[in-house]
Amino acid sequence: MIYWTNQQVSETGPEKLLDKASPEQASVQAAGVFDGATLTLEVSQDGLPFYSLTDFTVTTPSIMKGLIPFGSRYRFVLANSTGSTSVSVSLLSGGK
């Protein structure tokens, strides 16, 4: 699922629900020009506050993998963007 395409400004994106049937091996691909920007995946379980996943914080084009528990809400945060920042990000997850 594509989350952002050519995101250029620092922003906390909308939250989405991971609604598969089990804890998920998720794959996140970040592409584009970062120019000093930082992209972070944040997760919230059971309506609690969002927290950054340290394995899902990048400053360059990357592919990251890790587990995100079923029923979690997630969002991406792009920080420290500049005039030349243009980042696209997608999240793919499997399921039973």
Q: Mind giving me the DSSP string for the chain?
A: -EEEEEE-S-EEPPPEE--SSS-EEEEEEEEEE-TT-EEEEEEESTTPPPEEEEEEEESSSEEEEEEE-TT-EEEEEEES--TT-EEEEEEEE---
pLDDT at position 89 over 80: yes
pLDDT, tens digit, 9 for 90 and up, residues 13-72 = 988 887 665 556 788 899 999 999 999 999 998 888 999 987 889 999 999 888 887 788
Give me the number of domains the chain comprises: 1
Identify the CATH number of the domain in which residue 40 sits: 2.60.120
As a whole number of Å, the end-to-end CA separation of the chain is 17
* Residue 5: predicted pLDDT: 85
Residue 62 domain boundaries: 2-93
Pairwise CA distance, residues 50 & 11, whole Å: 15
Tell me the two tokens of residue 39.
């992209």
Q: Model-level pTM? A: 0.84
